């Protein structure tokens, strides 16, 4: 199958690309880095920074699925966020997703899948994540409404903590990062959604064992 993945140059998006290639899909990736560490005949990569541009240039058609995985995350009190922090999170987490779907919808098969990586923070507000939660709540609303407008199947995936470079000194995780969800677990779920034709997955919520929200 032909799958487009955003956020493909690092973190969860890169893991999704690698997993889908292992499952013999053709993958078109978008990411903000100039290059990506994948050399595969079934992989095409485009460099695009969602904080600066959403000018997609992709000639592919008959796309089976698109996966919006781009995200920015800052864990801070609301007054500690700079205006740039706020604008970048909205631009990448929400506006970018809307523009991504708007562009690729016309290039997709009517029976295709639109998969949006949201968060448990889009279902329930989390401490120090007011802006991030707002963007993910917006993504949930976008998906709910979009479901009434398009023929494609809409799936939002709302994970708890994932073991990616998103957690760092600037955004510390108050626990053991090694016990968080592995990116490959998320990628395997996405693959199942893509290859299953007789089931509609509307909203998938998953937590690592060490999180009990």
The CATH number of whichever domain residue 196 belongs to comes to: 3.40.50.720
Tell me how far CA of residue 33 lies from CA of 10, 14, 50, 124, in angstroms.
Answer: 8, 11, 11, 31
Q: What is the pTM of this model?
A: 0.93
Q: Is residue 106 part of a domain?
A: yes
Q: Is residue 67 part of a domain?
A: yes
Q: Is residue 212 part of a domain?
A: no
Tokens of 140: 């949930």
Return the bridge partners of 43, or none: 27
Among 165, 60, 166, 163, CA closest to 103: 60
Query: For residue 178, what pLDDT is reported?
Result: 67
Tokens of 187: 């990628």
Counted domains in the chain: 1
pLDDT tens track for 165-197: 676 777 677 767 767 889 999 999 999 999 998
Q: Is residue 213 part of a domain?
A: no
Query: For residue 150, what pLDDT is reported?
Result: 96
- Write out the residue range of the structural domain in which residue 25 sits: 2-206
Q: Is residue 199 part of a domain?
A: yes
183-195 and 11-22 helices, crossing angle to 10°: 50
């Amino acid at each position: 199958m032909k799958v487009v993945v955003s956020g493909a140059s690092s973190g969860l998006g890169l893991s999704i690309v690698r997993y889908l290639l292992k499952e013999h899909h053709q993958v078109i990736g978008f990411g903000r880095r100039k290059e990506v560490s994948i050399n595969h005949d079934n992989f095409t990569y485009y460099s695009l920074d969602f904080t600066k541009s959403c000018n997609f240039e992709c000639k592919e058609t008959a796309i089976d699925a698109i996966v919006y995985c781009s995200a920015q995350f800052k864990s801070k009190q609301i007054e500690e966020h700079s205006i740039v922090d706020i604008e970048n999170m909205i631009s990448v987490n929400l506006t970018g997703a809307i523009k991504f779907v708007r562009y690729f919808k016309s290039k997709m098969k009517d029976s295709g899948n639109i998969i949006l990586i949201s968060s448990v923070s889009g279902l329930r507000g989390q401490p120090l994540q007011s802006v991030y939660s707002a963007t993910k709540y917006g993504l949930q609303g976008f998906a709910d409404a979009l479901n009434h407008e398009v023929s494609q199947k809409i799936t939002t995936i709302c994970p708890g903590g994932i073991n990616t470079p998103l957690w760092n000194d600037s955004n510390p995780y108050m626990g053991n990062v090694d016990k968080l969800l592995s990116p490959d677990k998320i990628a395997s779920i996405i693959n199942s959604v893509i290859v299953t034709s007789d089931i509609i997955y509307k909203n998938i919520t998953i937590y690592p064992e060490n999180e009990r929200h």
